Amino acid sequence: MNNDNNEIYFSKDIKELVGTEYGDIEKHSKFMKLALNEAKKALDEGEVPVGCVIVHNDIVIAAGSNKTNIKKNATRHAEIEALDSIYLSENASKFGGDKLLSDCKLYVTVEPCIMCAAVLQLAKINIVYFGCYNDKFGGNGSILPVHSIDCFERGHPYNCVSGVMKDQAIHLLQKFYFQENKKAPVPNKRKRIDPDQMINNQDNSSIDQPIDK
């Protein structure tokens, strides 16, 4: 699906596209499940659970999960990991790089951030399917519509479809943010003070003693 320069690049929920090739929920869910498996790997490694797969002619040719903590590099998002597995492969010349990616679909559990959306443009990815929105850093419409901005010299705008297994993607994020972070310092717990007790003990409370002038 390569678009003409004057065509508007869309960002739509998959439910809006049912009945079209973009709205085949069963087909796209099959690949999103694989992306979710990658996200679960990230969760098990203590990373924010985001995963993706790159598909060419209905065959997965690359997969990636978030590795920003493991590699101590804030740019090592799932999409970058997947792309690098192609570009840095011993068979990179066989893959054909941009030429191949222009016929590829990316399935990612969370909307690509602004950085990744720009990278996907430069990689000339064909279309992106994602699960839930990225309300803080989304580059496919939540914050900036980087996917549709035709301003990169070597870029290629692309369409994106949201909402593919979004509940499962959100569930993984919730598991990460609600779990105990064993590396975090032990917080100093503030003692809860009963207001009635404060009044009864006013004379003995240093914070309520009048200040001598």
DSSP 8-state symbol, 149:
-
Q: Which residues of 158-180 are buried (b: 16+ CB within 10 A; e: fewer)?
A: bbbbbbbbbebbeebbeebeeee
Distances 68 to 17, 77, 83, 171, 180 between C-alpha atoms, Å: 34, 6, 15, 20, 19
Instruction: Please confirm, yes or no, whether 81 is among the known catalytic residues.
Output: no
Q: Which of 38, 47, 79, 81 is catalytic?
A: 79
63-90 exposure pattern, b = at least 16 Cβ within 10 A, e = fewer: bbbbbbeeeeeeebbbbbbbbebbeeee
Active-site annotation, residues? 79
